Amino acid sequence: MVELMFQCLPRRSGWVSMEIRVIEEFYINKQIKQRSHMKGSKLDGICEFYDMDGNLEQRVNFKEGNLDGFLETYIKGELSSKRSFKEGYLDGPTELFDETGTLSATINFKRDLRNGVSRFWNKGQCVREANYKDGLLEGLTEDFTADGILIQRATYLRGQLDGVIFRFWLNGNIMEETDYSNGEVVGESRLYDERGKRISDKKEKNMVGTLTKVFRGE
């Protein structure tokens, strides 16, 4: 382990004893393992962690011992996630990337809880957009195919399905409408064919019902 020290920093009122240390640790093959900054006895500034081949694995910022600012993780030197922190809490946007480096998700946090809009992508196409409040689904959630076609629209209240859920045919017409209250189904679902006509025939209902189960992942 190598420890480097820097001089005190000047302020308007004079010199302040604020020793900054850079601490470095190495693997047996002499590749850098980690490099961190400390002010007094606390981590303060950027810390970096590397694998045995010298590839960056994590880069994170501290302020007076707490995570504050960014935290980046890497796989074989490629960025896989970027998170925002404030006073030790997840606070602000988190971005996730797939193995090609393409953005796969943006999730907003407030003091460790999901808050606001979250979006998820598949190969550059948004496949889900959901709203959160205090860590729970709240408000509108929409799901899309890999081609960007809307296939489901739902509303949530304190994490529970609440209101009408719509499922759609690929041509945009409604396939199914289901009423929910506090996460429970109210009444029977209303089914429609691809032309938008209400289905009453039992056999056709069963067919469309099977399709809607596929959409639900059942």
Q: Is residue 194 part of a domain?
A: yes
Report which of residues 153 and 213 the model is more confident about: 153
**Domain match, 137 and 182 both:** yes
Q: How many domains does the chain have?
A: 2
**Same-domain pairing of 39 and 133:** no
Question: 97-131, pLDDT tens digit by residue?
Answer: 998 889 999 999 999 999 999 999 998 899 999 99
| Residue in the block written with tokens 């981590």 | 43
> What's the pTM?
0.79
Is there a domain that residue 72 lies in? yes
| 8 in a structural domain | yes
Characterize 113-141 residue by residue with b for buried, 16 or more Cβ atoms within 10 angstroms of its Cβ, and e for exposed: ebbbebebbeeeeebeebbbbeeebbeeb
58-81 per-position pLDDT tens digit = 999 999 999 999 999 999 889 999
pLDDT tens sequence across 162-195: 999 999 999 999 999 999 999 999 998 899 989 9
Q: Kindly state whether residue 107 falls inside one of the protein's structural domains.
A: no
Domain that holds residue 146: 115-218
Among 72, 99, 126, the domain boundary falls at 99
119 lies in the same domain as 89: no
Report d(CA 40, CA 20) in Å as an integer.
Answer: 7
CA angle 100, 106, 112 (to 5 degrees): 125
Residue that finishes a domain, picked among 68, 99, 130: 99
Start-end of H helices in 172-216? 202-216
Same domain, 170 and 86: no
The whole-chain average pLDDT of the chain stands at 87
What is the pLDDT confidence band of residue 152, given thresholds at 50, 70 and 90? very high
Return the structure tokens found at 171. 């041509």
- Position 49 in a domain: yes
Q: Mark whether 123 and 214 lie in a shared domain.
A: yes
Classify residue 69 as left (phi > 0), alpha (psi -120 to 50) or beta.
Answer: left
